[in-house]
Amino acid sequence: MIVPPVASRVFGDLPVPTQNPRHVASTVHQVLARPEYQHPGPSLLQRIENDVLDWLARTLSSVVGAGLGAWIAMAVILGLIAFVAWRVAGGVTHDPGRSVTVSAARRRPAADWRAEAEAHERAGEWRQALRCRYRALVADLAGRGLLEEVPGRTAGEYRAQLADSLPAAGPPFREATALFEGAWYGHRLTTEAETSRFRGLADAVVGAAR
């Protein structure tokens, strides 16, 4: 297999792995398989909602090609469902203190990121560990309402946002972000010293947030 010159230069800068990839993957899976990192399945309400949607899909499939009477019956059923949904929604009082966005509900918890970081550290994969530590810090700050964790947002944007929401945490977060960017994007050699330094900076950021 011929490796393109560009790919050869890029991969040539990467450090040589010191651990067996299968061992690293196995360790990560073992940690994340613990009960405390397991997420519950859909709630009863969500299962009922899925069943109703499946029934509607089957009913619509059977109505297609049927006569006018079937279409009228289907319109009546849909109207009744819409009316019931409107009445239920109208009787629910919105609590702004418990508002949760869809993106926030789907975020990966900081504890999961830390568990993965610990698995990488035990395997000696310091660059991967530092990345997970950084993601855990961002998730922790987002959980405290200091950052808005958005897929695709850059580390620089998080740095600027935290400087506005919590100026006291600005200096340690800037240094922690620089460590992450240097290791992950700059492909700098990452050792236990860098991950240890990052943990200290993360503790300082979280301490300022309390």
Digit-coded pLDDT (tens) for 88-121: 555 444 433 333 333 444 578 999 999 999 999 9
SS3 content of the chain, % helix, strand, coil (to 5): 70, 0, 30
Tell me which of 86-95, 189-198, 200-209 is least confident: 86-95
At 108, which helix (H) or strand (E)? none
| Chain mean pLDDT for the chain | 76
Dist CA 76 CA 68 (whole Å): 13
Region 145-154 average pLDDT: 89
Q: State pLDDT tens for residues 56-75.
A: 667 666 655 556 666 666 67
Q: Which of 175, 180, 182 is nearest to 201 (CA)?
A: 175
**109 neighbors 139 (Cβ within 8 angstroms):** yes
CA distances from 61 to 29, 55, 64 (A): 42, 10, 5
Rounded to two decimals, what is the model's pTM? Answer: 0.52
198 against 65, higher pLDDT? 198
Express as a percent the part of the chain with pLDDT over 90. Answer: 43
Top-ranked range on mean pLDDT: pick from 77-86, 87-96, 153-162: 153-162
Q: Which of 188, 30, 205, 186 is nearest to 120 (CA)?
A: 30
Top-ranked range on mean pLDDT: pick from 4-13, 16-25, 160-169: 160-169
Q: Which of 130, 204, 153 is nearest to 174 (CA)?
A: 204
Residue 52's pLDDT is: 72
Residue 21's pLDDT is: 67
pLDDT of residue 131 exceeding 50, the answer is: yes
CA angle 118, 119, 123 (to 5 degrees): 115
Residue 47's pLDDT is: 72
